[in-house]
Structure formats: structure tokens, C-alpha cells
Amino acid sequence: MTPKRDASEIRAAIASGETSAVAVCTHALDAIARLDPDLHAFHQVTGDEVRRRAASLDAGGLPGDAALGGVPIAIKDNICTVSSETTACSRVLDGYVAPYDATVIQRLTRAGAVIVGKTNCDEFAMGSSTENSAFGPTRNPWGLDRTPGGSSGGSAAAVASGMVPVALGSDTGGSIRQPAALCGVLGLKPTYGRVSRFGLIAFASSFDQIGPITRTARDAADVLAIIAGHDPQDATSVDAPVPDYRAALTGDLRGLRVGVPRHLLATGVEPDIAAAFDRALDELEHAGAKLNDVTLPHADLAIAVYYLIGNAEASSNLARYDGVRYGVRAEAATTHDMYARTRDRGFGAEVKRRIMIGTYVLSAGYYDAYYLKAQQVRTLIRRDYERAFAEVDVVAVPTSPTAAFRLGERAADPIQMYLSDVFTVSANLAGLPAISIPCGLTSERLPAALQLTARAFDEATLLRVADALERRTSWAMERPPIFAP
């Protein structure tokens, strides 16, 4: 048994006695030890705790409904766990251990999962390349000179390289989908409110969602079924039934209506990405789906709106990191100086940039001109999708306009970095579910990906499409040069 097998296969092999949780998790730890020095997908690995947990599962047996019994899973380092530090890859939270597990961690643990460690990410999930981590960048298993995307780059690289079959990320403006796309794996951002945010370190509270990164639609369906559902500890958690996502994996796309906003694809999309996107649309059509042109009139404003509202929320959320109650504290003669020095030393350049932008747009004299106007346009973007979904079931665009770019290539140009998320931020602004599905390789053998957005709480349709494409193509089977044997 090796970690290159999918989570559902691992679970079945453990349940049948073909292998054990200890064997599976030891193999995962060995793979991390071999590959992670090059990739730096992990910020922390809790080897002793992993072995204890796996041995306990083997000794105590696994209930029949333990859907992830013995499966090793990686967790983005902005999701709280009592068994290890949670730093959001920021110096300001050095040494912080949460006094509770996030709701998603509790649910995964009850399902028998084994958490092997915390993955590297952009500091406070602010970035598109995982270069903003206080602990150094993560590298893409498809090319060590390339970014894995961000901010959940460590989670995507861990799954793409085969070190683990499943990882959790968080998605504020594309931070699950964009790294999944650049690493050639599947990434799902659920509907806002579908998955509890209790225990997720907040970046922008009206955008953030936790979701799975996997290699197959089946694994994504299983993980979402476990972590989804109402949580009274999260006031934004929606009390709605969680469907049987596995039942949606029929392979049948007959009657599916796919909307294509071609006006958004005219500029800025690399030719190889555009060609891969067109091939994916052809496959959907051959599988029985119907393609329709749709218009999203305000989509070109999405990046500006996102970076106004998101940074405003970030400036508010990050005000709590002042050196008083937790995290690092800089010594100073006065309280004011202590606050200033703590935040100056604790936060990286990108986080400081976003705090300053957010504080500016919320300040007197600029609130109406920037923040309020952005909220009004956010409503228009949501209405654009409502009109589109009167005619189609999903909206299709490339996940990223480019393949994985080189590390350092955009570090000095924040605007170019922000444009990496040009196709992903709209789903967060509208609170809609969206998925990134591998759709082939470029001429440089770098992954390309299709993004689909669906109606609120219709993750089942997104998983149905992903599963159908997996059955029809070999795209999801492509493996990077750095992959656990």
C-alpha cells in the first residue's frame, strides 16, 4: 500500500485487512521525508503523533462508517489544531497552539482520518504563490523553479506529489482552486456557509471557506460529506441538509447546460491554457452537455472589488494581533510602541500592504467612495450569476489564465500577482461553489485546469462533472516529475 492510491482505496484496503493504518501512515511519513526537503509543502509534520494515532486505529478497529479510517491528511496551517502549532505561516503567531480543534478537524478525526502535519501557505492566506510564507516558499512538483500557486500551495503540492491523498485548504479568492490548477489536482471551494469556519484563522470573513484538495472527485465528495453541515459555533454556517455527494458521481452529463462567458477570455489567457480549456469544453459536449454563451457584465470589476472588500476585512481581522494575548510580543517602553513593534516585526510585507489598503478604504472620507461602492458592485456580480443560472447549470472558465509561473517572477509586481486570481474571485464575491478540474498539460508539461461555478449549495453538480471528465480522460492521472513511488 502506498500513498499514491486514492483515499477511498486506502480506506477499503485497511478495512479489508490488506494493509494497516500504521503501514499507510508510515509510508506517507517516509514520502514526506524524501520529497519535502525539495518541495517544502509542509511547515510541520507530527510524526510521533501520527504513529500513535494510526496504531490506536489499528488496535481499536474502525467502525463501518469511518469513511476516512486510517487515511493520512494534510491541513493548511491556518486551521486550528490542539496537537500542533497553528501559525498561519506568520511570525506574529510563532509558537501559538490553539486550545481547541477547528470543527473540520473534529469531523475528520471522528471519520478516522490521521492528520500528518500542517502545510505551508502564504502568510494569513494572503497571496497567490506561497512565496509570502514567513517560513519560505513552497515549490511545485511539476518544476522546482515554479510556484505551486497560493495561498494553499503547500496543500496542493502535498497532494500532487503523492505525499498524501487529501489535504484541506482555505479559499478566500481562489486559494484552493488556483494552486490545485497549477499543481494538476482537484480543488473544491464549497458554497459560503456550507462548511464551518470555526477554528479557521480569518482573513476576510465574508469570503473564507474551507475545502478539499484531492486527486479524484470521489475523494472530494467523501471529504466534503464529512466536513459539511451546520455548526452552531459558526454564525455563518447554514442549516441545510448535506446531500449524498457520492450519488452524484454517475458519469452522465446529458442535459447539463454549461455557460461560457467568452467575453472574459479574449485577452490575458495563455494560448496553451486557452487550447486546454477548449478541449475540456469539447469533452463536456461529447459527454452530452450543451454549451451556451453567457454574459457576466461586471466580472471585469471583480479583482478590484475583491481587493477592496477583502483588504478592508483583513485590516479589521488582523487588528487582534497586538502582542497582548498570544503570539510574539516585542518589548518596548510604552504600550503604543509595543503594539507598533510587535506588528512591524510580526507581519510580512504583503500582509502590511493589505492592512494599509484596508484601513485606508475604511477611513473617513474614503469609505463611501471605495468600500461602499465595492459592496454595491459585489451585489451586481452576484446578480449577474443569478441571471446566468436562469439559463445554465454551471459557468465555465479556465481556473488560471496562465500555467505555473516561476518563483520570484511576480514578487515585485503585486498587480500581476493579484491578476492570477482574475477568474476565481467572483465565486467568493457571490458566495458560490466552484471547482478546479485538471484538463491537460501545456507544451511545457505544466498543468492546465477548468473551473466550474454552480448555484449555491449545488456542489453535487460540480463533482458530477469532475467525475465524468475523470472517466472520459486521463488528465487526472498525469503525474509530476516529483511523485512518491
Region 340-344: what's the mean pLDDT? 95
Share of the chain above pLDDT 70, in %: 98
CB proximity list for 235: less than 8 A, separation 6 or greater: none
Residue 478 has pLDDT above 60, yes or no: yes
pLDDT at 63: 66
Angle at 106 between CA 133 and CA 201, to 5 degrees: 30
Average pLDDT over residues 328-342: 94
76 catalytic? Reply is yes
Residue from 128, 151, 161, 170 carrying the catalytic annotation: 151
175 is a catalytic site residue:
yes
Q: How far apart are CA 174 and CA 302, in angstroms?
A: 12
Among residues 84, 152, 155, 175, the one annotated as catalytic is 175
Q: Average per-residue pLDDT in the chain?
A: 96
Q: CB within 8 A of 48, min separation 6: which ones?
A: none
Element (H, E) at 201: none
In the predicted model, is pLDDT for residue 3 greater than 50? no
Which ranges of 347-400 would DSSP assign to H, the alpha helix? 349-362, 373-388
Position 5 confidence tier, pLDDT thresholds 50, 70, 90: confident
- Active-site residue, from 4, 8, 76, 129: 76
d(CA 9, CA 3): 10
Instruction: Give the model confidence (pLDDT) of 12-63 as tens digits.
Output: 999 999 999 999 999 999 999 999 999 999 999 999 999 999 999 999 877 6
- Mean pLDDT for the stretch of residues 145-160: 98
**pLDDT-above-90 percentage for the chain:** 94
Q: Could you tell me which residues come within 8 angstroms of residue 218 by beta carbon, excluding any fewer than 6 positions away?
A: 6, 8, 246, 249, 467
Give, in order, the Cα–Cα distances in Å from 93 to each of 119, 190, 481: 15, 27, 34
| 4 neighbors 162 (Cβ within 8 angstroms) | yes
pLDDT at 287 over 80: yes
| Distance separating alpha carbons of residues 95 and 203, to the nearest angstrom | 20
Answer whether 360's CB lies under 8 Å from 354's CB. no
Asked if residue 64 has pLDDT above 80, the reply is no
By the 8 A CB rule, do 161 and 139 touch? no
Length of the chain: 485
Q: What is the pLDDT of residues 190-243, one digit of tens each?
A: 999 999 999 999 999 999 999 999 999 999 999 999 999 999 999 999 999 999
State how far the Cα of 9 lies from the Cα of 7, in Å rounded to an integer: 5
Residue 423 is classified by DSSP as T
Q: Which residues pair with 359 in a beta bridge?
A: none
CB 176 within 8 A of CB 187: yes
Task: Give dist(CA 130, CA 120) in Å, integer.
Answer: 7
Write down the residue that cell numbers 465565486 correspond to. Answer: 427
Domains and CATH numbers, the chain: 7-259+390-477 (3.90.1300.10)
Report pLDDT for 427: 98
Clarify whether 316 is annotated catalytic.
no
Determine contact, residues 214/476, Cβ cutoff 8 Å: no
* pLDDT attached to residue 65: 64
What is the pLDDT confidence band of residue 2, given thresholds at 50, 70 and 90? very low
CA-wise closest residue to 122 among 325, 411, 317, 401: 411
Q: Position of cell 493548511?
A: 76
Supply the DSSP symbol for 405: P
Confirm if 287 and 472 have CB atoms less than 8 A apart.
yes
CA dist 353 and 349 (Å) reads 6
Q: Strand (E) positions, 209-256?
A: 209-214
Angstrom distance (rounded) from CA 362 to CA 228: 33
Q: What is the mean pLDDT of residues 409-431?
A: 95
Measured CA to CA in angstroms, residue 73 lies from 113, 149, 176 at distances of 7, 20, 15
What is the tens place of the pLDDT at every residue in 71-89? 999 999 999 999 999 999 9
pTM value? 0.97
Contact assessment for residue 368 and residue 348, using Cβ atoms and an 8 Å cutoff: no
Q: Torsions phi, psi of 395, nearest 5?
A: -115, 130
From edge to edge, which strands make up the β-sheet containing 447-454?
42-45, 114-119, 72-76, 166-171, 209-214, 186-189, 434-441, 447-454, 394-398, 257-260, 290-293
